[in-house]
Chain A
């Protein structure tokens, strides 16, 4: 088959939804940075999107089986990059998460996600359909936990948590049995209880975030401030919103980082419940489309990869939007496709590129 014919199978509908969200993202970043020193971030986001789209097309040309074949190398490089961050990383906002390279900054923890998605797919393919044994569960868990530990140490609880759904999704689709799930859960409860008793469990800022989540009004100028301002922004938007560039919480700088983690709050304030429903509907359509692609994938690893992407996106949407509406504590996880940020955009589009390749390969035997 020719390359041209494979583009007929490129998921243009999915790309349409994605680009629509990206457009909303650019407009909201523009609004949220209008009167701040971050003015112009919407232009940079367009740049990231352009690079992301190009990379998406490029990676969609690479047979995903070749990615699976070489993923152990990528995994090794990924772990090394995390070690490099730990040793030479740049400290930003209290966490060592970035590597500066010739003036450009990278957040290696983002592409670890991609590597883990492929690596987990490869692992379950390698099981060749047999039942999951305890050693299997141990191996795949270790594969995820090693990078998780590094990222947790940076410290970046949010990003490290995004690795978990890859594992959980893999185990679920890979056929973990109910008995195994029950044993794991019991063990977790036991370990959690012991850790809680021992007293040293969370860093102070993490504990403060949990406390603030439980009771945002307890300290309106301290840890509860972000949640409180986010709730005010979303709630005051009402049904129809205050209008583009007219959100008082967003424009008055009351809403914290309204162009990244709290961009959905800014959007909800300016475009109301109607706008929020529209965005959630777009996520729903994108996710359904992805799951459909997983269903029609020609082989197991293709499905696993797509479902890994689904797991990461669902998790991030749930945690981020949940945080913005006060259902989840503040974790610092960006909203895929809406939040400003090169690493996040590149992850999303590279992941989509691989998904496209899985889809384009569905009639290849």
Chain B
């Protein structure tokens, strides 16, 4: 304070009154001003010089928004290039949680504009609670132009709403080929957590959830691109920086023939069951239908609770692809397997069994439909005589039967390129020991001989087994996508992911081949055949019926649907080296010949088409006797080009 006293003395005016401010105090104010400005300068230095890079990147993150460009999914075509699954442009509304100031306050407006209840919005938010905050949440898919206009008009009040153009799946209506094609949906948490194939996916990604969509997802999905957009604080676009274009998914050609598929779908309408049609030369699936069916379009947009409950509560399991997932007793269709076993073992040729409406084995009477009289292998197949096959089973024994059944693909997946195929079952002594820790009793063998008891099979297994028998012993891996459509490494990966019996050859002597196929022709073409009612004029149509008791036993004239037997039919045309094999399962269809009529219509559709196309009358020709077991499986050719 010394200098200020000094200056005060100087500044005293003539009347003793201080007329000047003490100079020292003014200096101290100057120092204070300099100090304050220096502190501010240090603050600026810290921000603009020392941490400038950090803030620069924050500023960039502020203004540049990465907008995904979603890759359109590959389309699906039938084998002739006819469009099955298309895409359509659609707009989804997203919620950007980082932009929300007070969501509760905005809820009523959002709810009103987008026509979703506040509870639904909150439920959606809860589902995404664990997702990182910067990740946009899909609020509503497939919004209407009105709702788009609402979002555009409320950009300032609701900066948290954002729209994104997407391509959405358009599936055939009425559940046409729904099980085969499958559907897409958001990747589930379990898939992300447990399946390596989805390790690179993030929540909200659309993936194939079933059918071809699931198996070939990696091909169909393509690669998403992105756009760097300059935005202001309200999310309004001010400009672009650059973009990485999306790579569209690969279009895929299915082995399905739309005409055959349509015939299969038509004949199954209103029934419960499945139809598989296959080219036995190659394993290409020509048609695959399952009933009841579902609408995959409902799954592609967010599934409504009502529809989901409807699907879930249907006792006939609409989501089940019965062609590959229904494992049921094959009934008398199993007799073709028995015939192969009996003939190849050299037993059946010499068997002459008197049928008196059944026979007694091990003190137990096993009945037959009818009194067939003296039966040999040639008429046992068209008669479908149970007594003959009881006797054959008893002489073969369960393990020989199992050996042949397994070599024909029973109790194992066929390896078809569709998810969740069922394995079916073939009993044996070992099987019983393993599963029930009990010894096999010879009496149990008898009913397995007619495809009852513990033996179960899927339609695709029966179709593949019959294909192998009908073309002389070569079994093919069934598939729905042409292998040359798929990159080799992915084909390999799919075969590892869907293991099965694949391609195989079984020994079948030419005489036995001819005998069995001729007998099967008699099933439909001879008046004694069980499916004579389904015979096709001018078409070499052969097959085998099956009437399989359901669990609970056969109750004659029952009105209770669940006790009515399942009607099976496996058939082919022509009888040897066929161009088409059809397996029909009609659950509770009562008699096998009912299914034979369905199969006949599918085969007829195929034959009509072949004739129309190349005027190839080979199918109508009277077959020459088989001279060799060698078949000419033409892998690349279509059904019409395969000639013996």
| CB–CB B238/A252 < 8 A | yes
Give the residue name and chain of the A residue nearest to B25 (CB): A173
| CB–CB A248/B63 < 8 A | yes
| CB–CB B48/A172 < 8 A | no
| CB–CB A239/B234 < 8 A | no
B19 within 8 A of A: yes
| CB–CB A322/B40 < 8 A | yes
B395 within 8 A of A: no
Stretch at the interface among B30-38, B253-261, B349-357, B421-429: B30-38
Give the residue name and chain of the A residue nearest to B53 (CB): A238
Q: When A and B form their complex, what is the total count of cross-chain residue pairs whose Cβ atoms lie within 8 Å?
A: 146
Give the residue name and chain of the A residue nearest to B11 (CB): A300
Give the residue name and chain of the B residue nearest to A301 (CB): B19
| CB–CB B55/A318 < 8 A | no
A85 within 8 A of B: no
List B contacts of A318 (CB < 8 A). 36, 40
List A contacts of B41 (CB < 8 A). 277, 280
Q: When chains A and B are docked, how far (Å) is the Cα of A267 from the Cα of B535?
A: 92
Q: When chains A and B are docked, how far (Å) is the Cα of A172 from the Cα of B16?
A: 21
Interface residues in B396-432 by Cβ distance below 8 A to A read none
Stretch at the interface among A18-26, A133-141, A226-234: A226-234
List A contacts of B23 (CB < 8 A). 295
| CB–CB B20/A252 < 8 A | no
Give the residue name and chain of the A residue nearest to B58 (CB): A232
Taking the nearest CB of chain B, how far is it from the CB of A179, in angstroms?
12
Q: Contact flags (1/0) for B44-60 with A, using CB distance below 8 Å?
A: 11111101101110111
A32 within 8 A of B: no
Q: Contact flags (1/0) for A274-315 with B, using CB distance below 8 Å?
A: 001100100110011001001101111001100100100010
Partner of A237, one of B40, B48, B233: B48
| CB–CB A235/B39 < 8 A | no
A57 within 8 A of B: no
| CB–CB A253/B233 < 8 A | yes
Q: Contact flags (1/0) for A105-139 with B, using CB distance below 8 Å?
A: 00000000000000000000000110000000000
Q: When chains A and B are docked, how far (Å) is the Cα of A191 from the Cα of B40?
A: 30
B231 within 8 A of A: yes
| CB–CB A276/B44 < 8 A | yes
List B contacts of A326 (CB < 8 A). 43, 47
Q: When chains A and B are docked, how far (Å) is the Cα of A297 from the Cα of B33?
A: 20
A321 within 8 A of B: yes
Q: When chains A and B are docked, how far (Å) is the Cα of A296 from the Cα of B475?
A: 113
| CB–CB A300/B18 < 8 A | yes
Give the residue name and chain of the B residue nearest to A248 (CB): B63
| CB–CB B40/A173 < 8 A | no
Q: Contact flags (1/0) for B67-107 with A, using CB distance below 8 Å?
A: 00000000000000000000000000000001111000000
B17 within 8 A of A: yes
B29 within 8 A of A: yes
| CB–CB B44/A325 < 8 A | yes
B303 within 8 A of A: no
| CB–CB B48/A273 < 8 A | yes
| CB–CB B49/A273 < 8 A | yes
Taking the nearest CB of chain B, how far is it from the CB of A210, in angstroms?
18
A221 within 8 A of B: yes
Choose among A251, A284, A297 the residue with the greatest number of B CB atoms under 10 Å from its CB. A284
List B contacts of A222 (CB < 8 A). 101
Q: When chains A and B are docked, how far (Å) is the Cα of A251 from the Cα of B230?
A: 11
A162 within 8 A of B: no
List A contacts of B45 (CB < 8 A). 273
| CB–CB B233/A254 < 8 A | yes
Taking the nearest CB of chain B, how far is it from the CB of A300, in angstroms?
6
List B contacts of A299 (CB < 8 A). 19
Give the residue name and chain of the A residue nearest to B57 (CB): A236
Choose among A221, A298, A326 the residue with the greatest number of B CB atoms under 10 Å from its CB. A221
Taking the nearest CB of chain B, how far is it from the CB of A184, in angstroms?
18
Taking the nearest CB of chain B, how far is it from the CB of A208, in angstroms?
13
Interface residues in B226-263 by Cβ distance below 8 A to A read 230-234, 238
Q: Contact flags (1/0) for A304-344 with B, using CB distance below 8 Å?
A: 10010010001001100110011100000000000000000
B505 within 8 A of A: no
Partner of A325, one of B40, B99, B100: B40
Give the residue name and chain of the A residue nearest to B45 (CB): A273
List A contacts of B233 (CB < 8 A). 252-254
| CB–CB A129/B101 < 8 A | no
| CB–CB A234/B17 < 8 A | no
Partner of A327, one of B20, B32, B40: B40
Q: When chains A and B are docked, how far (Å) is the Cα of A249 from the Cα of B32?
A: 33
Partner of A236, one of B59, B101, B232: B59
List A contacts of B232 (CB < 8 A). 35, 251-254
| CB–CB A234/B37 < 8 A | no
A268-B44, A268-B48, A288-B33 given; 11 more Cβ-contact pairs under 8 Å: A248-B60, A252-B62, A272-B48, A273-B48, A276-B44, A277-B44, A283-B37, A291-B29, A291-B30, A300-B19, A317-B36
Interface residue ranges, B against A (CB under 8 Å): 12, 16-23, 25-26, 29-30, 32-34, 36-37, 39-41, 43-49, 51-52, 54-56, 58-60, 62-63, 98-101, 230-234, 238
Q: List 29 A-B contacts (CB under 8 A).
A: A129-B18, A221-B98, A222-B101, A231-B47, A233-B59, A234-B44, A234-B48, A235-B47, A235-B51, A235-B52, A235-B54, A239-B52, A248-B63, A249-B62, A251-B232, A252-B232, A254-B62, A254-B63, A254-B233, A268-B48, A277-B44, A280-B41, A284-B33, A297-B20, A300-B18, A300-B21, A307-B26, A307-B29, A317-B37
